Amino acid sequence: MNKYKRNKISLIGAGQIGANLAMMAAQKNLGDVVMFDVVESMPMGKALDIHQTTPVQGLSSTITGTNSYADIEGSDLIIITAGIPRKPGMSRDDLLQTNAKIMTDVAQNVKKYAPNAFVIVISNPLDAMVYLFQKVSGMPKQKVLGMAGVLDAARFRTFISMETGVSVEDITAFVLGGHGDTMVPLPRYSTVGGIPLTEYPGLSAEKIDAMVKRTAGGGGEIVALLKTGSAFFAPAASAIAMAESILFDKKRIFPCAVYCEGEYGYKDMHIGLPAMLGAEGIEKILEVKLTAEEKSALDNSAKAVEGLKEDLKRLGFL
């Protein structure tokens, strides 16, 4: 096979995040893009529109839309955003049931048409959906991962930059745990120009605490401002950074929802941990020392994720 052949990237779900993924994948020259959605002809419309930006942007990727899973055949990478948002009056169980049904269908089709692909799941509730995808598809654990931590860390980095005035380029952030308000942003392992946040001159513990809280509620803040839907630009950019690290074997370290086999004491679950992403997918999971307080916050987050897994069992999906 020609190793210079373009990658095929299929997006399952062509909604808000899906459309931005298509645009960014083309802009980053990741490969040719296929947009799949169950809504009739909509992905074809969005794909054609995005394809028509390529002559103007000077890009060579093709972008096609489809309502047929057969068109994702042979994909190198799949990014899943399929799902429905919580509607007024809908219980958590109703939402979980609906999205779990969608994810089961997606997993069966991805396994059928693109069993060798890397898979990045974005759909919520994230940690449960990536776990379900892996169980239903049976695809290799090191090739199936969830996007949440990159976004949460990006939010933390943005807030640190807003507070210190330092460019986001010189800021790193470390976030562990499940996606949601139990996530664990770790100031001790976050840096400004290489200086741990906790040592940064003039930054009080109160200010750090406020940024940690704002990060944990970062998704809700945007939902409240938008009034309809949830964040889509930064989530798309985050998944694209993960995709780039895998497809170009960059070996970057990102917080990702990964399958645990004893790391940090967790087994048979997906939760956000720092991972090295390269040509093999998840090439390494880093275990760092945590204080008793940090570990108990992570345990609390793991408990919430475990709860979702139990719900999936109770509802008959596992």
In the window 271-300, what residues touch ligand TXD (CB under 6 A)? none
Three-state DSSP state, 251: coil
Binding string to ligand TXD for residues 162 to 201, with x set by CB under 6 A, is what?
-----------------x----------------------
In the window 21-80, what residues touch ligand TXD (CB under 6 A)? 37-39
In the window 226-265, what residues touch ligand TXD (CB under 6 A)? 229-232, 235
Judged by beta carbon, residue 124 or residue 164, the one nearer ligand TXD is 124
Candidates 91, 86, 12, 80; CA nearest to 311 is 91
The Cα–Cα gap between 83 and 86 comes to 10
Place of tokens 């955003």: 81
Pairing of the two strands 77-80 and 63-66: unpaired
Do the beta carbons of residue 272 and residue 151 sit within 8 Å?
no
Q: Which two tokens stand for residue 162?
A: 């807003």
In the window 70-109, what residues touch ligand TXD (CB under 6 A)? 81-85, 102, 105-106
Judged by beta carbon, residue 200 or residue 309, the one nearer ligand TXD is 309
Q: Which amino acid is at 244?
A: E
For the bound state, the minimum distance from the C-beta of residue 235 to ligand TXD, rounded and expressed in Å, comes to 4
Judged by beta carbon, residue 184 or residue 192, the one nearer ligand TXD is 184
Torsion region of 31: left, alpha or beta (phi above 0 gives left; psi -120 to 50 gives alpha): left
Q: Which of 7, 9, 11, 14 binds ligand TXD (CB under 6 A)?
A: 14
Pairing of the two strands 77-80 and 118-121: parallel
For the bound state, the minimum distance from the C-beta of residue 161 to ligand TXD, rounded and expressed in Å, comes to 20
For the bound state, the minimum distance from the C-beta of residue 201 to ligand TXD, rounded and expressed in Å, comes to 32
Is 179 among the residues known to form the active site? yes
Cβ within 8 Å of residue 123, ≥6 positions away: 13, 80, 81, 82, 83, 99, 102, 103, 129
Residues annotated as part of the active site: 179
Q: Which residues bind ligand TXD (CB under 6 A)?
A: 12-18, 37-39, 81-85, 102, 105-106, 122-124, 126, 147-148, 151, 179, 229-232, 235
